[in-house]
Amino acid sequence: MNETNIESALISWGDFERVELRVGTVVDVEEFPEARCPAWILHIDFGDKVGKRKSSAQITDLYTRETLIGRQVIAVVNFPVKQIGPLMSECLVTGFANNDGAIVLAQPEQNVPNGARLC
């Protein structure tokens, strides 16, 4: 991802309010051999209001299936679904690239209810 000039990328408060960043718990992880880059298919429970969603996540450098199951993650849940190979990705899991370019997941410091919205 390219770094953006912060001043040219300013958004309004209303723009931010439309982004649904919510917490969910990873309940299952599948291999995704059809992905162009190594990735997992995450099944994430966002609680009763949002439900369970799937997402492709290129996080295999730092996370195994075992370290992902039960972990809470932060994801955008109001993007349209996106076709990634044979998968229809239903949310965008968030993270940050470390110095090596591997993605470190964004997650709450403490457990919060599934479906909680970033405020």
Instruction: Look up the pTM and report it.
Output: 0.91
Q: What is the pLDDT of residue 3?
A: 62
| 8 A C-beta contact, residue 11 and residue 28 | no
What average pLDDT score do residues 59-82 get?
98
pLDDT tens digits, residue range 45-70? 999 999 999 999 999 999 999 999 99
What proportion of the chain, given as a percentage, has pLDDT over 90? 92
Please, what are the domains in the chain?
15-105 (2.40.50.140)
pLDDT tens digits, residue range 17-26? 999 999 999 9
Q: Indicate if the pLDDT at residue 6 is higher than 80.
A: no
Residues 6+ apart with CB under 8 A from 89: 54, 55, 56, 81, 82, 83
Q: Indicate if the pLDDT at residue 4 is higher than 90.
A: no
